Structure 1
Amino acid sequence: MKLKKAELKDFLDEKVKLYNNPKFIDSDPIQVPHEFSKKEDIEIAAFLTATIAWGNRKSIINNANRMMDLLDHSPFEFVTQHQDADLDRFDGFVHRTFNSEDLKQFMKSLQHIYKTHQSLEMVFSKYAAQNSLQHSIHEFKKLFFDIPHLERSKKHVSDPLKNSAAKRINMYLRWMVRNDNAGVDFGIWKSLSPAQLSCPLDVHSGNVARKLGLLKRKQNDGKALAELDTNLRKLDPSDPVKYDFALFGLGVFEGF
């Protein structure tokens, strides 16, 4: 489907209006952090939810809610106050390849981030480039595993500088940074701008982007993300990832 740039923009802008609304929350993992009101609770709940956001959406939501139960529905308090003995409660937790040992590691790593860098937002904004957060993600991963850690847990935080599309962490950043006035994305990280965000590239958004001529590269990797980013910024340089709603909606809800 080849559309001229102006037609393509109009087509996608309509789809953004359709899917970037509160009804979207009901079927999306973003509903889990929406249960909280305190900034730190939202950002931790969102980070953990995004970390396991692959596979069946229902099972992602169920397991993310289970994590919130295990954190006594006070993620920030648990992360910052827990002792090692408190982590035994995670035994038996599993989502695909993310297991209880990984979750324990993530608790320790998050505690380390809050103790040494004040907040998750501070880490990402410290290393942000003018129009990209991909270097920030790379530095965040280094800091996250800056303490004694399990080698196996490292695969659960992607590194764009190793040519990963880093879909889950880019989605997380969309949730935190983008203020959409529609009540879906949170926009609670004011030190960063939506112009710096990258689209969460997955099978659905990649396939739709290729059909619309926004992406030529076959693999969904870091190079494909750079290509898609460039093309989405031509449509809206100030808020390129709003088109994630259009690409995802077309793929998942319309079988485009």
Structure 2
Amino acid sequence: MQLQKEELKEFLDNKVIQYNTLEFIDSDPISIPHKYSLKEDIEIAGFLAATIAWGNRKSIIKNANKMMDLMGNSPYDFIMNHNNNDLEKFEGFVHRTFNSVDFGYFIKSLKNIYVHHNGLENVFSQNVANNSLQGAISAFKKVFFEIEHPVRTTKHVSDPLKGSAAKRINMYLRWMVRKDNANVDFGIWESLSPSLLSCPLDVHSGNVARKLGLLERKQNDAKALTELDKALRKLDPKDPVKYDFALFGLGVFEGF
């Protein structure tokens, strides 16, 4: 389905309006940070929910809620004030390949980030280059694993400079950075511009983008993400990832 640029933009803009609504939240992992009002709670809950956002959406939301329960539903307070005994109650937690060992390390690393790096927003807002956040994601991974860590846990944070599309972190950055009149995305990280964001690229958004002629590359990897970024920024340079709602909605809800 190849449309002319103006037609394509109009078609996708209408799909954004259709799917970028409060109804979208309930069936999406973004529902987890929406439980909170404190900035740090929102960004931590969002980061943890995004980290396990692969597989069945119901089980993602169920397990992300379980993570919040294990932290007494006060993620920032838990991270800043936990001791090793508090982490013992994580025993048995598992979401696909993410387990209690990984969860425990994430808590320690997040504390290190808030104590020594002035928080998640500050870490991501360093190392922005070439009108993109992909280098900043790679630098974030280095900071995230700068303290002693289990090797197995490193696979749960993607590195775009090693070829990954980093779908989950790009989705998380959309939540935190993008200004959203519909109150779906939070837009609480004002140090970063929505124009820098990249679309969370997965099977659904990739397939739809190919059908619409926005993407030619077959693999959903870092090179495909760069190609899709260019196409979406031509449609809306200031808010390119609003089209995530259109691509996702067309793929998941309409089987486009």
**Shared fold, TM over 0.5:** yes
SS at match of 1:2: coil
Unaligned 5+ runs, structure 1: none
Alpha carbons 1:129, 1:196 under 8 Å: kept: no
Structure 1 residue aligned with 2:159: 159
Structure 2 residue aligned with 1:58: 58
1:197 and 1:104 mapped to 2: Cα distance?
A: 29
- C-alpha spacing 1:129/1:175, structure 2 compared with 1 (3 Å): same
2:131 and 2:77 mapped to 1: Cα distance?
A: 33
Structure 2 residue aligned with 1:90: 90
**Which residue identity lines up with residue 37 of structure 1 in the other structure?**
S
SS at match of 1:65: helix
1:97 and 1:72 mapped to 2: Cα distance?
A: 23
Structure 1 residue aligned with 2:208: 208
Aligned residues, how many?
256
SS at match of 1:208: helix
Question: In the alignment, does 2:244 pair up with 1:244?
Answer: yes
SS at match of 2:241: helix
Alignment of 1:38-49 (within 5 A): 38-49=38-49
Question: In the alignment, does 2:3 pair up with 1:3?
Answer: yes
Per-residue deviation, residues 8-41 of structure 1 (Å, max 9, x unmatched): 0000000000000101001111001000000000
Unaligned 5+ runs, structure 2: none
Alignment of 1:98-247 (within 5 A): 98-129=98-129, 131-247=131-247
Alpha carbons 1:16, 1:242 under 8 Å: kept: yes
**Which residue identity lines up with residue 42 of structure 2 in the other structure?**
I
**1:127 CA displacement:** 1.5
2:136 and 2:179 mapped to 1: Cα distance?
A: 20
Structure 1 residue aligned with 2:37: 37
Question: In the alignment, does 2:77 pair up with 1:77?
Answer: yes
**1:179 CA displacement:** 1.1
Extract structure 1 runs of 4+ deviating beyond 6 A.
none
2:181 and 2:117 mapped to 1: Cα distance?
A: 29
In percent, how many aligned pairs have the same letter? 72
**1:130 CA displacement:** 5.5
2:131 and 2:19 mapped to 1: Cα distance?
A: 25
**1:84 CA displacement:** 1.5
2:39 and 2:135 mapped to 1: Cα distance?
A: 24
Alpha carbons 1:165, 1:222 under 8 Å: kept: yes
TM-score (norm 1): 0.99
**1:107 CA displacement:** 0.5
Structure 1 residue aligned with 2:17: 17
1:115 and 1:128 mapped to 2: Cα distance?
A: 22
SS at match of 1:191: coil
SS at match of 1:158: coil
2:80 and 2:154 mapped to 1: Cα distance?
A: 21
1:70 and 1:128 mapped to 2: Cα distance?
A: 34
**1:129 CA displacement:** 2.4
Per-residue deviation, residues 216-236 of structure 1 (Å, max 9, x unmatched): 000000000000000000000
2:27 and 2:99 mapped to 1: Cα distance?
A: 24
TM-score (norm 2): 0.99
**1:128 CA displacement:** 1.6
Per-residue deviation, residues 66-110 of structure 1 (Å, max 9, x unmatched): 000000010000111111221101000000000000000100110
